[in-house]
Amino acid sequence: MNDTNSAEDDSQPYRLKGRGSRRTSSLLAILQTDAWSQLPRTWSRRDATVLVDDLTRIWHAQSGDPPQDLNHDIAVLDNYFNPLAAGSRLRALLVELPPVSTRSEAPRDPFILSIGDGRYLVTPDGRLLLELLVEKLGQYEQSFAMSQADWREAQSRLLSLYRAWSQQKLRDVIALQTADGAAPMLPQTIGIVLFLLVNGNIGIRRAFRRPADHTDFTSIDRLTQDVVAEFADNISTGRSRRKDQFSLYGGYALTEARRRLGARRLVVDGPKIYIFSEGVIDEIIERIARDLLRREVSPLAAKTAFDSLVKKYRQIRPQLAAFRLAFEQPASTEAIRERLMEAIGEHGRGTP
Boundaries of every domain in the chain: 7-171, 183-348
Cβ-count burial 273-287 (b if 16+ within 10 Å, e if not) = bbbbbbbbbbbbbbb
- Mind listing the pLDDT tens digit for each residue in 77-104? 888 888 877 788 788 889 989 999 888 7
Q: What are phi and psi of 264, to 5 degrees?
A: -75, -15
- Average the pLDDT over 50-61 and give the result: 93
The CA angle 279-283-288, to the nearest 5 degrees, is: 140
Residue 206's nearest CA partner among 113, 117, 329 is 329
Q: Which of 103-117, 156-170, 245-259, 321-335 has the highest mean pLDDT?
A: 321-335
Opening angle at CA 200, ends 197 and 204, nearest 5: 105
Whether the per-residue pLDDT at 331 is higher than 60: the answer is yes
Task: Give the 3-state secondary structure of residue 208.
Answer: strand
Give the pLDDT score at 175.
Answer: 66
Task: Write out pLDDT tens, residues 197-208.
Answer: 999 999 999 999
Residue 2 has pLDDT above 60, yes or no: no
> Which of 263-267, 277-281, 346-350 has the lowest average pLDDT?
346-350
Q: Please choose, from the candidates 181, 146, 153, 209, the residue with its C-alpha nearest in 3D space to the C-alpha of residue 293.
A: 181
pTM of the model: 0.53
Position 149 confidence tier, pLDDT thresholds 50, 70, 90: confident
What is the predicted pLDDT for the residue at 244? 64
In sequence order, which residues have a C-beta less than 8 Å from that of residue 344 and are 6 or more positions away?
A: 289, 292, 293, 299, 302
